Amino acid sequence: MAKVRVNNIELYYEIHGNGQPLVLIEGLACSKWMWFKQINELKKHFKVIVFDLRGIGDSDKPDMEYSIKLFADDTAALVTELGFKKVHVLGVSMGGYIAQELALEYPALVDRLILCSTHYGGPNIVPIPLSTLSIMLNGAGAGNALENLRIAMSLSFSDEYLSTHKDEFEQIVKWKFEKPQPFYAYKRQFYAGLAFDEESRVHLIKSPTLIMAGKDDKIVPYENALLLHSKIEDSEVEFFDNAGHLFFIEKAEEVNQKIVEFLTKPIGGDEKWKERILT
């Protein structure tokens, strides 16, 4: 186990592969298991950095106020402590909030940006469905009640996936069940996400950005990807049919290919982009 001390806590991290550094930022109530279909493929092309946010997994879980800015500060400190000066960043859901904050607060640190199943916050997004919010407010994503975990995790997938990948779904539930998140830490993360609002600043993101979403997302409606696309000038958007909030698990082969293509293609006429060395 590798840990680094940043902002008075210890964060657990792993590094896989070689190449240009790519930081993956997990979502609410999720830890490093989230990337089980990404790491082995992406490490063929990049130096992949995965870590657990404060409040979950093998990182410290202080009972204090969390914020998306604090998560971004943690991430920036982690990247700096590991010796990287510029990285690609991919964030999912709440991890997408953190990725946006990172690009806004630490623009020199972020090369290319990938935002998945996320929004820019505030009153003008397409909101979380009330039925989903009710389950989330009751903390079904935390603790060690197995049936609660199944209920919460089922929200993250399309009905098609749930009917055709029952064993894989149960494995994901098992991973969460074996290392439950304390309820206080879940609430700290959850309320940090609720307070996120960067609608007035998101247009300031200058990193080339790929925005992706599943058309059957029951948590963050896919229309939010279009709103993000309209705000971030240098962005493109990609949708995946018959896929939910964690579409990158459901459609791993297509998503991984899209990630590699986006992060390796020349941008702005720089035909030698692939030859740049990021340290």
pLDDT digits (tens, 9 = 90+) for 237-248: 999 999 999 999
Give the pLDDT score at 116.
99
Rounded to whole angstroms, the Cα distance separating 86 from 80 reads: 9
Kindly report, residue by residue over 92-102, the tens digit of the pLDDT. 999 999 999 99
Which one-letter DSSP state was computed for residue 207? S
Q: How confident is the model at residue 140 (pLDDT cuts 50, 70, 90)?
A: low
The residues that bridge with 116 in the sheet, in sequence order, are 92, 212
The residues that bridge with 88 in the sheet, in sequence order, are 22
Whether pLDDT at 13 is above 90: yes
Give the pLDDT score at 133.
86
Whether pLDDT at 178 is above 70: yes
CATH code, residues 3-275: 3.40.50.1820
Provide the percentage of residues in the chain whose pLDDT is more than 70.
93
- What average pLDDT does this structure show over 247-258? 98
Q: How confident is the model at residue 141 (pLDDT cuts 50, 70, 90)?
A: low
Of the CA atoms within 13 Å of residue 95, those in its CB half-sphere come to: 29
H-helix or E-strand containing 61? none
Query: Coil, strand, or helix at residue 45?
Result: coil
